[in-house]
Structure 1
Amino acid sequence: MNDQTLSRRNLMKLAGGAAVTAALSTQAAKAKRGVKKGRINQSIVHWCWGERGWEIEDTAKAAKELGCKSVELIAPEHWPVLKKHGLTCAIAPNGVEGAPFIRGLNNPLYHEMVIKATKETITECAKFGVKNVIAFNGFKWRKAEDPKSGEISLEEGAKNCVRGLKKIIGYAEKKGVNICIEHLNTRDDSHPMKGHPGYQGDKVDYVAEIIRAVGSPNMKMLFDIYHVQIMDGDVIRRIEENKDIIGHIHTAGNPGRKELDDTQEINYPPIMRKLLDIGYKGHVGQEFIPTGDPMKGLVEAVELCDV
């Protein structure tokens, strides 16, 4: 990395921020866009737009402008920015450094680190009124980054997850915070954030069994519609089957983890109506990777899910 690279990156960020401001001004000048009905609590997952040069301040402004209630998966030091804009963080990261879904609770080698980081995040959640923190199974290899190190069986991985989660869940209950474990697809290997080959926890039923084995009302599932569509399908039936343990929702278009437009296959309005039918009161986080105008895609997704 050199000064020229840094300058270029900074310029991209400045350009991204300016584009957000311009887009918001343009939108404001038109008829109000975004949430109108407000029966679905919507949230923006910042990292997707951070990839396009948006700062957290930019994402917060967009969320407020569009009637979203949250910007999520950002660290506690950024939560005051959300508070300034009247927003919350619907779900917190677990505080694990690096890609948090690689070294997870399925592997005792990482229990001490993951448990410590998650408890520290739960403490911050309680201070700021954040209701959920994310959790992950982790990769299936005994040394998470090394596929040659041998595999942890599904049965062993599940037992390890339950054991690890039980060491955290009592503290979460005490602090009034939910732990939401996320299933991820292992089929898409085209991009490190479109799929996660090696992840142990790619099936909804498998993750649901772990949640139920922990046996706490504060143990929940992060139900990612995009990942479910790839690995399981039958999204609405899966929602019905797991309605008692769903604590958070993510969206994205499939294939490609792209915008929720008419080039992808998931029919979002009936899925949102199903969430209303089951009495879901949590948030729906928009977590797609914009391929075009990031503000335009966000407006369209928010409006599509506003049933």
Structure 2
Amino acid sequence: MPRFAANLSMMFQEHPFLDRFAAAAAAGFAGVEFLFPYDHPAGAIAERLQRHGLTQALFNLPPGDWAAGERGLASLPGREEEFRRSVERAIGYARALGCRTVHCMAGLLPDEGERATRERLYVENLRHAARACGEAGLTLLIEPINTRDMPGYLLNYQGQARRLIEAVGAPNLRLQLDLYHCQIMEGDLARHIREYLPITGHVQIAGVPERHEPDRGEVNYRYLFDLLDELGYAGWVGCEYRPHGRTEDGLGWFAPYRRHG
């Protein structure tokens, strides 16, 4: 049975952020993930995880100036020192939260003619980040993101991610396979799961096309959850979706998987 982590950046927004941990545990989740922890002291988050018996499955490295539209630093020329500091900051939070997996956002590509240069820098920065994360016992992830939700993002396809992972050559650098993004960009999800699961460190889900609950829309997630079981996937499945209404009211899909007690 897949292990599901509630994404607290999107789910349970009826509650203040630090109260979402209790809500996720009450709903039966064993793990949580979120985009960024940096607005809160690591100790405050760690206390909520411990109090509610939750595992921190994933969070992202600092993305740069999110409010100004930045979506990652790893491919941005002239920001190498800032990127290295962001890696150290994320490692500090990961240690405090007992989190074993972090995601490195690539950044936006302003001009397709710069792709080769930006990808070379991305590989260099990923090598540094993977080495630092490896020394801390962490897995580092990269994630293809669809061009509709995040126009201009450098990384969009699973094959592109695999090529970059191979170029970096670090054993702890793996794929974050987001089935919502994959369906929009490539489709054929069962084939993609079979092909890319050997290099996958984390899976994420959402209904397509509205990014609501996984039982809304065009994807048969029940089939895909069974496929993940069949293939022996033992990692987390992050529920990175925007509830259509009140979060708890949309968890009917989760009833067979929820933690009891």
The interval holding the TM-score normalised by the smaller chain is 0.7 to 0.9
Whole-angstrom CA distance in 2 between matches of 1:125 and 1:65:
24
Q: Give the match's secondary structure for 1:254.
A: coil
Residue 83 (structure 2) pairs with residue 114 (structure 1): yes
Query: CA separation of 1:261/1:244 partners in 2, compared to 1, >3 Å: closer, same or farther?
Result: closer
Whole-angstrom CA distance in 2 between matches of 1:246 and 1:124:
23
CA contact (8 A) 1:269 1:304 kept: no
Is the radius of gyration larger for structure 1 or structure 2?
1
1:210 to 164, 175, 187: 164
Letter in structure 2 aligned against 1:137? A
Q: Give the match's secondary structure for 1:236.
A: helix
2:51 to 79, 84, 91: 84
Counterpart in the other structure of 2:16 = 55
Counterpart in the other structure of 2:235 = 282
Counterpart in the other structure of 1:294 = 247
C-alpha deviation, 1:138, in angstroms? 1.0
Query: Which structure has the higher relative contact order (CA within 8 Å, separation 6+)?
Result: 2
Q: Report the TM-score, using the length of structure 1 for normalisation.
A: 0.75
Counterpart in the other structure of 2:131 = 170
Q: Give the match's secondary structure for 2:234.
A: coil
Counterpart in the other structure of 2:155 = 201
Q: Mark the runs of 5 or more structure 1 residues left unpaired by the alignment.
A: 1-38, 142-149, 189-194
Q: Give the match's secondary structure for 2:219.
A: coil
Q: Give the match's secondary structure for 1:272.
A: helix
Query: CA separation of 1:62/1:268 partners in 2, compared to 1, >3 Å: closer, same or farther?
Result: same
Q: What is the percentage of aligned positions where both structures have the same residue? A: 27
Query: CA separation of 1:87/1:152 partners in 2, compared to 1, >3 Å: closer, same or farther?
Result: farther
Counterpart in the other structure of 2:2 = 40
Counterpart in the other structure of 1:137 = 106
Letter in structure 1 aligned against 2:46? W
Q: Give the match's secondary structure for 1:71.
A: strand
CA contact (8 A) 2:127 2:170 kept: no
CA contact (8 A) 1:268 1:305 kept: no
Q: Mark the runs of 5 or more structure 2 residues left unpaired by the alignment.
A: none
Counterpart in the other structure of 1:126 = 95
Whole-angstrom CA distance in 1 between matches of 2:238 and 2:198:
19
C-alpha deviation, 1:49, in angstroms? 2.7
C-alpha deviation, 1:59, in angstroms? 2.2
Letter in structure 2 aligned against 1:302? F
CA contact (8 A) 1:96 1:118 kept: no
Q: Give the match's secondary structure for 1:176.
A: coil
Q: Give the match's secondary structure for 1:171.
A: helix
Query: CA separation of 1:152/1:117 partners in 2, compared to 1, >3 Å: closer, same or farther?
Result: farther
C-alpha deviation, 1:234, in angstroms? 1.0
